Amino acid sequence: MRRREVTVFSLSFLDCICCGLGAVILLFVIVNAKSAAYRNEVLVDLRSEVTRLEKEVLEGKKGLVEARNTLEKSRDEIVRTEGLSEELVETIAQRKVELAYYEKDTLATKTHINKLKADLKSVDEDVRRLEAGSKAKDDYGSRLRPFPGEGDRQYLTDLKVGGDRIFILVDASASMLDESIVGIIRRRNLKDAEKLRAEKWQQAVATVDWLTTQVPLNSQFQVYVFNETAAPLIEGTKGTWLKAQDVEKLNDTVARLRKVIPQKGTSLVNAFQAIKDMNPGPDNIFLLTDSLPTMGARRPEEKRVSGRKRRSLFKEAVRSLPSRVPVNIILFPMEGDPLAASLLWQLAVSTNGAFFCPSKDWP
């Protein structure tokens, strides 16, 4: 058989060439379309940025106009201020002239005042002479509260109820019911009304009543009662000072003390801690008690407390006192505690305070 001839440019080859060319053209169309879409997106973003910058330029021009207006106003204010300063200088010069005139007038007034002071001193001396020769003298003129009573009550106590902040501590433990141990045990089992009428407790209440009449007018005060714990007589005033000018507070304090019933043991460390919690601290302390403490910060497990233990508890309590504050002690002694008078006297002396053991008819 004769061999068939091969033709390079046959119909099949032309078909392949045409298909390839068509594919290239289609790919170019697709790529071009995507490029156009991307270009449009970029242009949109650029147009938005141009618009934003144009707005900022407009706002900047407005701000520039406002700044120019403010500058003009500031210049006007400077001009007005310069005018006012000139007027002020003139006014100062006039005031200097007037001051020189008034100084001359003041010198004459001072001379007249000195003469009046001399006259007043002379009148005071006359008043003192009259008071010295008078048999009756009103003793309540400078006191906030009167303390009525019978007989002569001008006792030599050396109790100086002075200072800016006066703190009074009143022992309200069961031992304040009587002077003897037997009497304390007997009265401790009585009704509350009988406890309140105890002679020893009534004397302590009367002593606080007298102390409140001696408080200076411009001072502050606070009264706490203590047994196993310490608390102010007027609720809601813990850690705060009361004004002595408020006579109602003084009266209310004494009235509340009359309703306190002596009970429980004696914790002097808790009482002194209450003093330490005052801010600012006191500058004069009055302690009304009858014996050494029977417990520390917490109630002891044993019922009996030896004299050595009570002495140790007292020394522990003294360490919690604020330093350099006078402690004035009014002692209502009880039997069975011989160390109380000695240790409390030493405390009063070491703090430059007073120690006082009143008679049964005082105050």
pLDDT tens figures, 245-273 = 888 888 999 999 999 999 999 999 999 99
Is the CA virtual torsion 148, 151, 154, 155 positive or negative?
Answer: negative
Of the candidates 128, 145, 173, which is a domain's last residue? 128
pLDDT at residue 293 in the model: 92
First to last CA, the chain: 163
Is this prediction's pTM over 0.85?
no
The residue behind tokens 């196993």 is: 228
Do 124 and 262 belong to one domain? no
Q: In this predicted structure, what is the pLDDT of residue 141?
A: 46
Contacts of 90 (CB under 8 A, 6+ apart): none
pLDDT above 50 (res 320): yes
119 and 172 part of one domain:
no
Average pLDDT of 203-221? 91
- Tell me the β-bridge partners of 331: 289
Which residues, at least 6 apart from 233, have a Cβ–Cβ distance to it below 8 Å?
223, 224, 225, 253, 256, 257, 260
Q: Tell me the range of 22-26, 73-77, 140-144 where mean pLDDT is highest.
A: 73-77
40 within domain boundaries: yes
Last residue of a domain, which of 128, 147, 181? 128
User: For residue 212, what are its two tokens?
Assistant: 């409140």
In a domain, 1, yes or no: no
Is residue 190 domain-resident?
Answer: yes
Tell me the mean pLDDT in the region 194-206.
Answer: 93
Average pLDDT value for residue range 232-243: 92
Q: State whether 192 and 280 are in the same domain.
A: yes
> Could you tell me if residue 13 is inside a domain?
no
Number of neighbours of residue 243 by Cβ within 10 angstroms: 13
Instruction: Identify the domain containing residue 177 by its residue range.
Output: 165-297+309-356
Both 349 and 215 in one domain: the answer is yes
Residue 307's contacts (CB-CB under 8 Å, 6 or more residues apart) are 337, 338, 339
Burial per residue of 258-290, b for 16 or more beta-carbon CB atoms within 10 angstroms, e otherwise: eebebebebbbbbbbbbbeebeeebbbbbbbbb
120 and 41 part of one domain: yes
Residues 119 and 171 in one domain: no
CATH code of the domain in which 349 resides: 3.40.50.410
Q: Are 227 and 169 in contact (CB under 8 A)?
A: no
Q: Which residue has the tokens 């808790």?
A: 270
Q: Coil, strand, or helix at residue 112?
A: helix
Same domain, 266 and 346: yes
pLDDT-based confidence at residue 43 (cuts at 50, 70, 90) = confident
pLDDT, residue 139, reads 46
Residue 272 falls within a domain, yes or no?
yes
Other C-beta atoms closer than 10 Å to the C-beta of 238 total: 14
- Residue 151, pLDDT above cutoff 60: no
Q: Total domain count for the chain?
A: 2
Q: Tell me, yes or no, whether 175 lies in a domain.
A: yes
Position 221 confidence tier, pLDDT thresholds 50, 70, 90: very high
Share of the chain above pLDDT 70, in %: 85
Q: Which residue has the higher pLDDT, 166 or 28?
A: 166
Res. 20: pLDDT tops 50:
yes
Q: In the predicted model, what is the mean pLDDT of residues 173-201?
A: 91
216 with 104, same domain? no
Q: What pLDDT was estimated at residue 147?
A: 57
- Tell me the mean pLDDT in the region 303-314: 86
**In the listed set 128, 149, 173, which residue is the last one of a domain according to the structure?**
128
Asked if residue 197 belongs to a domain, the reply is yes
Query: Do 206 and 327 fall into the same domain?
Result: yes
What per-residue string of b and e applies to 3-34 under the rule 16 or more CB within 10 Å gives b?
eeeeeeeeeeeeeeeeeeeeeeeeeeeeeeee
pLDDT band at 28 (very low <50, low <70, confident <90, very high): confident
Would you place residue 156 in the very low, low, confident or very high pLDDT band (cuts 50, 70, 90)?
A: very low
CB atoms within 10 A of CB 170: 26
Rounded mean pLDDT, 311-318: 91
Residues 6+ apart with CB under 8 A from 305: 294, 295, 313
Domain-embedded: residue 154:
no
pLDDT at 257: 94
336 and 196 share a domain? yes
Interatomic CA distance for residues 130 and 145, integer angstroms: 26
Inform me whether the pLDDT recorded for 117 exceeds 50: yes
Q: What is the pLDDT of residue 131?
A: 54
- Overall average pLDDT of the 42-64 stretch: 82
Torsion 173-177-180-184 (CA) sign: negative
Give the residue, 171 or 29, on which the prediction is more confident: 171
C-alpha span between 218 and 163 (Å, rounded)? 9
pLDDT at 335 over 70: yes
Judged against a pLDDT cut of 50, whether residue 110 lies above it is answered with yes
Residues 67 and 171 grouped into a single domain = no
Query: Alpha-carbon distance 221 to 314, whole Å?
Result: 25
Highest mean pLDDT among 157-161, 168-172, 322-326: 168-172
Confidence of residue 86 (pLDDT cuts 50, 70, 90): confident
**For position 327, what pLDDT does the model report?**
93
Residues 81 and 177 in one domain: no
Identify the H or E element spanning 205.
helix 199-213
